[in-house]
Amino acid sequence: MYRIVFTQVLSRIDPEDIHHLTVGGLRLLSAAPVVKRLVHRRLAPRDPALRVQAFGVHFPSPFGLAAGFDKDARCVEAMSALGFGHVEVGTITAHAQPGNARPRLFRLVRERAIINRMGFNNAGAAAAAKALGRTRGVPVVVGVNIGKTKVVPESQAADDYVSSAKELAPLADYLVVNVSSPNTPGLRDLQAVELLRPLLRAVKEVADGTPRRTPLLVKIAPDLADEDVDAVADLALELGLDGVIATNTTISRQDVSSTETGGLSGRPLRARSLEVLRRLRARVGDRLVLVSVGGVEGVDDVWERLLAGATLVQGYTGMIYEGPLWAWRINRDLSRRLRRHGVTDVRQIIGRTAG
């Protein structure tokens, strides 16, 4: 059904207009207590076999929504009701900013991919904190992904992240330092260990200081060289971070026809994202929580990532092509597959094929 609507209607409309319409609709759903609860009861994961625990947080399913969809934390409850085991909001910056000029979001339908150069358009940390403070009604695990305000120079990046962390860490189930989006000039340079160490240290101090100690993760790019993936993993261990999210979008254009600038997500990212996950797992074993994201389309991908050592798996682009029941379907299929394999707890398969 969604496929027909997508081909006949949605694919003919500007993708960013659809995004705003969708978020508007989901916001209404988030604000309608009865409907929200009904949808949650029908679509949210309830199979105990799907439950995972990571850095002290309980997730009803390992599958969650990646950052970038709900940039201002406006529809977290609706996304939870639709079946996502967690919702990562953001990227949120300390100051509100408009992002890049439109058009900045492009569908590559044949390749089941997206290119975006949104540039962290968001209403800023204070507005997001207000929105998060309003959530109640259905249970939702919220990750908060923070990034650098565009106009802030690299030399003041740590202060800028710290300012967002102070505002948002107390409201987050986990906090993510995003240093991997390709659409803020210079941002990915912060992945170099000499720059990343002081930045992560400063944010960690804030995260450690919240009443519940907010778990801290770092999100990395698929375009890092393998040695740099290892270096970030080592740094995460050294600083006592809780996990690594791999990966963000890629600037590579291998196997795609479009030459639009921005970050590429979806199917073409799948292989590299999995490769980075395997590399991380080989480096850190189960000492860090690994969150795998990039090119996940269905239960086969989720299954593969879990076996390769991811405790949590995320997706975004898949939802654009599969529709609003995507997460529900993945959870349903994952439950079935676990049962078929005689597995009563998804945690039993995590890392099973890792070396």
Ligand X SMILES: Cc1cc2nc3c(=O)[nH]c(=O)nc-3n(C[C@H](O)[C@H](O)[C@H](O)COP(=O)(O)O)c2cc1C
- Minimum CB–partner distance for residue 48 and ligand X (Å): 26
Q: Give whichever of 13 and 38 is closer to ligand X, judged by the CB atom.
A: 13
Would you tell me how many other CB atoms lie within 10 Å of the CB of residue 44?
Answer: 22
| Contact indicator for 312, 291 with CB cutoff of 8 Å | yes
Q: Which two tokens stand for residue 339?
A: 């049962």
> Hey, CA dihedral for 177, 180, 185, 191, is it positive or negative?
positive
The residue annotated as part of the active site, out of 163, 180, 181, 335, is 181
Least distance in angstroms from the C-beta of 297 to ligand X: 8
Residue 248 CB, nearest distance to ligand X (Å)?
5
- Residue 219 assigned as binding residue: yes
- Sort strands 52-54 and 57-59 into parallel, antiparallel or unpaired: antiparallel
22 annotated binding-site participant: no
Count the Cβ atoms, other than its own, within 10 Å of residue 58. 12
Active site residue 181: yes
Q: Which of 248/311 has CB closer to ligand X?
A: 248
Burial class (CB in 10 A: 0-12, 13-18, 19+), 251: middle
* 45 vs 222, beta carbon nearer ligand X: 222
Q: Toward ligand X, which CB reaches closer, 62 or 266?
A: 266
**From CA 196, how far away is CA 190, in angstroms rounded?**
5
| Position with the least CB separation from ligand X | 68
- What 34-37 contacts at long range (C-beta under 8 Å, 24+ apart), as own/partner pairs, is 36/77, 36/78, 36/81, 36/137, 36/138, 37/81, 37/137, 37/138
Q: What is the spatial distance between Cα 180 and Cα 279, in angstroms, rounded to a whole number?
A: 17
Binding site for ligand X (CB under 6 A): 66-68, 71, 90-91, 105, 114, 116, 118, 120, 145, 178, 181, 219, 248-249, 265-266, 269, 293-296, 315-318
Q: How far is the CB of 38 from ligand X (least distance, A)?
A: 28
121 is in an annotated binding site: no
Residue numbering of the annotated binding site for FMN: 67-71, 91, 145, 178, 219, 247, 266, 295, 316-317
Residue numbering of the annotated binding site for substrate: 71, 116-120, 178, 183, 248-249
Residue numbering of the annotated binding site: 67-71, 91, 116-120, 145, 178, 183, 219, 247-249, 266, 295, 316-317
Residues with a catalytic annotation lie at 181
